[in-house]
Amino acid sequence: MHELTINLRPSDKEPLYEQIYTYIKDEIRAGRILCKEKLPSTRALSSYLEVSRSTVELAYEQLLSEGYIESVPYRGFFVAQVDELYHLEAERKKDSFLEKKEESREQMEINGEKKIKYDFTPNGVDLKSFPYNTWRKLSREILSDDRTELFRLGDPRGEYEFRSVICRYLYQARGVNCTPEQVIVGAGSDYLMMLFCTIIGRDHVIAVENPTYKKAYRLFQSQEYKVMPVPMDGMGMKIDPLRKSGADIAYVTPSHQYPTGIVMPIGRRMELLKWAEEEEGRYIVEDDYDSEFRYKGKPIPALQGYDAHGKVVYLGTFSKSIAPAIRLSYMVLPPELCEAYQQKCRFLSSTVSKVDQLIVCRFIEEGYYERHLNKTRALYKSRHDQLILGLRPLAGQCRISGENAGVHLLLHFPGGREESELILRAAEEGIKVYGLSDYIVDEDEKREEATILLGYANMSEEKIKEACAVLGEIWKN
């Protein structure tokens, strides 16, 4: 484990979590902390630095979101493979455009990667809008009572009061029909998906959308399932290829497909449900990861709300809408799988403390969550609008999609443009953008056009404006 000797400056204008984040990032980039090296736990580092644990968690979450470190369940935080961070080295071998940039490339290799000034990560969350004062108030209220029960192991599924609140919220906001007995609370969607794997057993074939959320794809692979990428069209996962895949579990993100932003229409949803109903033992895993953020029209009801035969497993999270460090997600099981859970998993303890569950429970019950969502939606909408405005100079060069929901959009460049060229040109100006190719499971699949993902949750309107002005110049034909 690498020991971190950080000299914090409490009187400095820069927040403490940013100082921790900057120090670790610089150490990784300089090679002083090596790939795969383990970092101290948030608890150990906060104790060593004499700061709150939440301060260290904020720093780690920022490093996670930018790809400098990765979280390994039950093991801790490790330094990520940095040369994969910018996706440049492999692309150098492919792109003839880069051959013309040999001299500048060599200079970049000598001097190190150019400092990133603007990061359009599609996984960002705005932490500056986090309701710190409200969170402190609720924490004090819950801990003020000397209740021994708070520190005993609770229900493995999560506290009944909290699961009841989740049921009411899901019905009102997403049209999900469930009882508290069907809800399982867990520390993040990764844990809940592993729990789902334990519930269903290993004798299954899992279909995923292509392009897909790679983390889920890798998780299913790590659990030794046969994972089949299924192509998509403008309405989502194609049903005929799904049937031919031999899969009996389909993992989908129908309300806002990640990463393409496609919203699955009602017709395709009915086709998907019909596929699941055709054979016993078939299920759909609906990952509703960012349903709270929609900028045009009404929210799309969850697929689970149309399920009349117990075929949909619903996944949701508070990490995206509140903060990544709030490792609090939930899974809604159909009745048949609730019985399997009781048989196989009831001995497992809850992975979320009662205190954290009760804080979020009060946060929702007392109206703070709704107010926070309204504030965050307005904030993201302003950044979304600024990004659309800033991209106008590229109107003749590309088209935009996926802009009506979530916290990222896609730019499609026709005419033989290469993603690697677009990514490199941006990187040379200190701008980090992301290619859709990174989300393709079948590496041999030919992309008809270069596609770039631009996330805007982490960036101020001013930074978005500045970055777009540069992109408008460098991405012109």
Q: Is 313 found in the same domain as 206? A: yes
Q: Is 204 found in the same domain as 108? A: no
Residue 249 lies in a domain: yes
Q: Is 225 found in the same domain as 331? A: yes
Residue 139 lies in a domain: no
Per the structure, how many domains does the chain have?
3
Q: Is 316 found in the same domain as 424? A: no
Parallel, antiparallel or unpaired: strands 283-287 and 450-455: unpaired
Residue 194: pLDDT band with limits 50, 70, 90: very high
Q: Is 153 found in the same domain as 33? A: no
Question: The whole model's pTM is what?
Answer: 0.72
Reply yes or no on whether the pLDDT at 147 is more than 90. Answer: no
Residue 100 lies in a domain: yes
Q: Quick one: CA torsion of 426, 430, 436, 440, rounded to 10 degrees? A: 120
Query: Are 122 and 148 spatial neighbours (Cβ–Cβ below 8 Å)?
Result: no
Q: Is 278 found in the same domain as 405? A: no
Reply yes or no on whether the pLDDT at 471 is more than 90. Answer: yes
Q: Is 221 found in the same domain as 99? A: no
Which structural domain range is residue 150 located in?
145-366
Residue 422 lies in a domain: yes
pLDDT at 324: 76
- Look at residues 340, 366, 392 and tell me which one is the last residue of a structural domain: 366
- Look at residues 350, 366, 382 and tell me which one is the last residue of a structural domain: 366
**272-290 per-residue burial string, b: 16 or more CB within 10 A, e: under 16:** bbebbeeeeeebbbbbbbb
Least confident of 80-94, 322-336, 407-421, 441-455: 80-94
Reply yes or no on whether the pLDDT at 2 is more than 70. Answer: no
Q: Which of 393, 421, 368 is nearest to 139 (CA)?
A: 368
Q: Is 158 found in the same domain as 280? A: yes
Query: Are 4 and 47 spatial neighbours (Cβ–Cβ below 8 Å)?
Result: no
Looking at residues 317-332, what average pLDDT do you find?
A: 86
- Work out the angle between the directed axes of helices 16-29 and 53-66 (0-180°, nearest 10): 40
Query: Are 351 and 186 spatial neighbours (Cβ–Cβ below 8 Å)?
Result: yes
